[in-house]
Structure formats: structure tokens, C-alpha cells
């Protein structure tokens, strides 16, 4: 039986191949998908969900089938600035965020704002209460299902759903 993940990967690979094949006759050294696409295009095609091994295999497959395998210069756009956009509606990056909450932290109560040492501000959107008294706790905010994010305090097994507001 073929897994759902395998079907999704095949769909992404097919889409990527269809996007790149019209430029197969262009002459230039091979350039990977990450170099040829903007971050938004890369994510819209679902390629950010591929493992590094899957992405390397896709790039190798394209390179083997495209003479000189590169998009024309006019089709290549630059990646937007390096501002950390994780947690907003269209994330550039879905790696976990590790930071601290400066000062005394007393947990959350259903409508809590979290101001991190890295300058990001998140607010609790999930219900629930977690009572604790800590100084400068380390927290991890990581992607969850359907584009949501969850905050977890290091050393505790409690999490809450959050959204980034700044």
C-alpha cells in the first residue's frame, strides 16, 4: 500500500518537473531548485516539506534530464530579505524557535502574551492554564498542524497553541 506521504511527494516531484521542463534547452550549469525559486514559490510547491535527501534526489533527477539544467535568467528571482518571519501566515522557515522569556514567568491563563528575548511577541490562542514560577525560562515554539505553532517551556510537559503578533 502506498502511503499518503509518498503520494504527496510524487505530486510535488511531478509539479517541479512540469515547471522546469519548458526551460530544458537553456544552456548554463545546473542550478538547484532552492537557487532557482523564491522561498514563496518553493513553499507554494510544497518542496519545503521534503527531507534534505528527497530534495537532493529531486535536484539530481532534474539535472540528469535537463541539458545544462538551468532556468533562464529572467525566470530567476531573488529570495526576500533575511528577516525572521517564522510564525506569521506565510512562514519563510518552519524550524523551531528557541529563546527565553526575560524576567519572571508565571505560566499562561488562556490569553497570555509572550515577549521573547529575541524580540518576537506571541500570544496564546489555545485554551488552558499552566501555573509555574520561573526566572528567564527557555521556551521552544515549534510548528504544529495546519500552520499553527505551539509553545513549550523547557523541562515541563505543558504546551499551548500560540500565534505570532510581532
In this prediction, residues 22-38 reach a mean pLDDT of 63
| Total-model pTM | 0.47
In this prediction, residues 95-107 reach a mean pLDDT of 93
**Across 7-16, 73-82, 86-95, 101-110, least confident range:** 73-82
Q: Could you give the percent of the chain with pLDDT greater than 70?
A: 64
Is the pLDDT higher at 25 or at 103? Answer: 103
With b meaning 16 or more CB within 10 Å and e meaning fewer, what string describes 89-124?
A: eebbeeeebebbbeeebebbeeebebebeeebebbb
CA distances from 146 to 46, 49, 108 (A): 14, 13, 23
- Mean pLDDT (the chain) is 76
Please report the pLDDT score of residue 112 as a whole number: 93
Please report the pLDDT score of residue 66 as a whole number: 64
Asked if the model's pLDDT at residue 19 lies above 70, the reply is no
Is the pLDDT higher at 75 or at 165? Answer: 165
Reported as a single tens digit per residue, the pLDDT across 60-84 is 777 776 655 444 433 333 344 456 6
**Cell numbers found for residue 40:** 514563496
Cα separation of 42 and 66, whole Å? 19
Q: Could you give the percent of the chain with pLDDT greater than 90?
A: 32
Please report the pLDDT score of residue 63 as a whole number: 72
Please report the pLDDT score of residue 81 as a whole number: 47
Question: CA angle, 63 as apex, 82 and 37 as ends, to 5°?
Answer: 25
Extents of the domains making up the chain: 4-75, 97-164
- Cα-Cα-Cα-Cα torsion 108, 112, 113, 118, nearest 10 degrees, comes to 10
**Across 44-48, 97-101, 103-107, 160-164, least confident range:** 44-48
Asked if the model's pLDDT at residue 152 lies above 60, the reply is yes
Amino acid at each position: 500500500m502506498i502511503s499518503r506521504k509518498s503520494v504527496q511527494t510524487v505530486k510535488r516531484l511531478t509539479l517541479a518537473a512540469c515547471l522546469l521542463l519548458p526551460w530544458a534547452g537553456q544552456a548554463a550549469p545546473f542550478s538547484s531548485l532552492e537557487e532557482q525559486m523564491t522561498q514563496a514559490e518553493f513553499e507554494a510547491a510544497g518542496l519545503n516539506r521534503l527531507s534534505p535527501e528527497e530534495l537532493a534526489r529531486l535536484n539530481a533527477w532534474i539535472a540528469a534530464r535537463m541539458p545544462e539544467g538551468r532556468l533562464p535568467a529572467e525566470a530567476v528571482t531573488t529570495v526576500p530579505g533575511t528577516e525572521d518571519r517564522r510564525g506569521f501566515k506565510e512562514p519563510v522557515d518552519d524550524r523551531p524557535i528557541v529563546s527565553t522569556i526575560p524576567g519572571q514567568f508565571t505560566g499562561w491563563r488562556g490569553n497570555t502574551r509572550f515577549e521573547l528575548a529575541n524580540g518576537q511577541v506571541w500570544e496564546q490562542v489555545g485554551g488552558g492554564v499552566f501555573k509555574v514560577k520561573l526566572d528567564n525560562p527557555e521556551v521552544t515554539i515549534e510548528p504544529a498542524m495546519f500552520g499553527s505553532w505551539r509553545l513549550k517551556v523547557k523541562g515541563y510537559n505543558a504546551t499551548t497553541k500560540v500565534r505570532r503578533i510581532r
